[in-house]
Each structure stands twice: as C-alpha cells, then as structure tokens.
C-alpha cells in the first residue's frame, strides 16, 4: 500500500511530501537515507564511525529498554576451574542468556576461612558489579547509582569492610538534596 501527500515524516517529523519507504511514511530526505541503508549498508557502516566518531549502535540497543529485568530462574552457564598464584583453586562460573555472559560468580576454598571475611566481601563486590555491567551490556538493563549501591551494600559482610565504607561514601550522593555538607 502506498500513501502520499503532505503530512509529517514519521522519521524526522518534517512536513514535506511523504511517501512510503521501508515501512515508514517518510520525507524525501529520509527516503534517501532509508534507501542507502537498505542498498549500501557496507558504505554506511564504513563511513559512520569516521564521520560520527562513534560506533554504529548494535541492533539490541534498539530494543525497548526494560526497567526491571527478570532473569530466568535457571540460567545456562559454564564453570571454569583455575589456580591462582598462591595455589588456591578457584571456580569461576559464568551464567549466560542467549550465549552472552550476564552474571559471574567466583568461589574458592578460602570461602570457609573466617579470618578472610574482608577478602571475600571484596571478591563479592567485584563479581556483583561485573554482573551488573554484563547485564547492562548484553541485556540493556539500565545501570544506575542505586543499583550499584545495592550490590555494594549486599557485598558487605561486616561493619567497615571495604564495601561498607564505599557504600557509606557513595550513598551520600543519593540523598544530597536539601542537605548541607558536614
């Protein structure tokens, strides 16, 4: 079906002579763009980073961003066994959604050592924040200060360990409204 006439271009909003192209009611300028994207994608890809100084956004970024992301109960994943410099055995697990990493976990024998609580809380902070970034990169989960703070706070195992101190400092930035600096 073809419609034409002067209304608003669905893409840029210009009031020009509109015709259907690529599924849009588009103005002449946007129709040229559509036709070039359809017919010369390699040229667009080549020129875009040069002329715009940024990569073309991957397709997944066009998806509607979900405010709260629900991960499936059971995720696919891979578990890796590795040994560090001090000869501690580590298990590194990567959970996947559609083959992309979305969460990491690390565990090691010193998990059970009570004298190493702070080391464990630092480790938990690292994996929680990496998981947050991975979900942002691969699943478009919005990355906010609130979410970072939540993960940092949950990583803390005792008062005044590193995550607890970081939480205390960064949390000041969330409720600065109406407060004066001490």
By CB under 5 A, what part of segment 102-141 binds Zn ion? none
By CB under 5 A, what part of segment 28-87 binds Zn ion? 30
- Residue from 11, 69, 130, 137 binding Zn ion (CB under 5 A): 11
Taking the complex as a whole, how short is the minimal distance between the CB of residue 56 and Zn ion, in angstroms? 20
Taking the complex as a whole, how short is the minimal distance between the CB of residue 14 and Zn ion, in angstroms? 5
By CB under 5 A, what part of segment 19-38 binds Zn ion? 27, 30
Taking the complex as a whole, how short is the minimal distance between the CB of residue 8 and Zn ion, in angstroms? 9
Minimum CB distance to Zn ion smaller for 14 or for 69? 14
Taking the complex as a whole, how short is the minimal distance between the CB of residue 16 and Zn ion, in angstroms? 7
Minimum CB distance to Zn ion smaller for 12 or for 109? 12
Taking the complex as a whole, how short is the minimal distance between the CB of residue 33 and Zn ion, in angstroms? 8
Look at phi and psi of residue 65 and say left if phi exceeds 0, alpha if psi is from -120 to 50, else beta: beta
Q: Is 12 in the site for Zn ion (CB under 5 A)?
A: yes
Minimum CB distance to Zn ion smaller for 9 or for 94? 9
Q: 141 burial class (0-12, 13-18, 19+ CB within 10 angstroms)?
A: buried
Radius of gyration of the chain (CA): 25
Q: Do residues 71 and 60 make contact, with C-beta atoms less than 8 angstroms apart?
A: no
Q: Is 18 in the site for Zn ion (CB under 5 A)?
A: no
Minimum CB distance to Zn ion smaller for 16 or for 119? 16
| Size of residue set near Zn ion by CB under 5 A | 6
Taking the complex as a whole, how short is the minimal distance between the CB of residue 22 and Zn ion, in angstroms? 12
Q: Collect all residues with Cβ–Cβ distance below 8 Å to 157 and sequence separation of at least 6.
A: 117, 118, 120, 121, 124
Residues that bind Zn ion (CB under 5 A): 9, 11-12, 14, 27, 30
């Amino acid at each position: 079906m073809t419609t034409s006439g002067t209304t608003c271009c669905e893409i840029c909003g210009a009031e020009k002579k509109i015709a259907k192209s690529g599924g849009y009611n588009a103005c002449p300028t946007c129709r040229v763009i559509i036709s070039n994207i359809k017919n010369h994608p390699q040229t667009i890809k080549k020129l875009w980073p040069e002329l715009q100084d940024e990569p073309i956004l991957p397709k997944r970024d066009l998806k509607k961003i979900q405010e709260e992301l629900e991960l499936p109960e059971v995720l696919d994943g891979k578990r890796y066994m590795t040994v560090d410099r001090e000869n501690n055995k580590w298990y590194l697990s990567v959970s996947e959604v559609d083959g992309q990493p979305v969460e990491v976990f690390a565990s090691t024998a010193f998990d059970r050592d009570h004298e190493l609580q702070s080391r464990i809380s630092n480790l938990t902070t690292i994996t929680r924040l990496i998981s947050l970034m991975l979900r942002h990169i691969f699943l478009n989960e919005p990355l906010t200060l609130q979410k970072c703070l939540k993960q940092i706070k949950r990583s803390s195992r005792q008062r005044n360990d590193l995550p607890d101190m970081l939480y205390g400092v960064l949390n000041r930035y969330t409720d600065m409204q109406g407060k004066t600096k001490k």
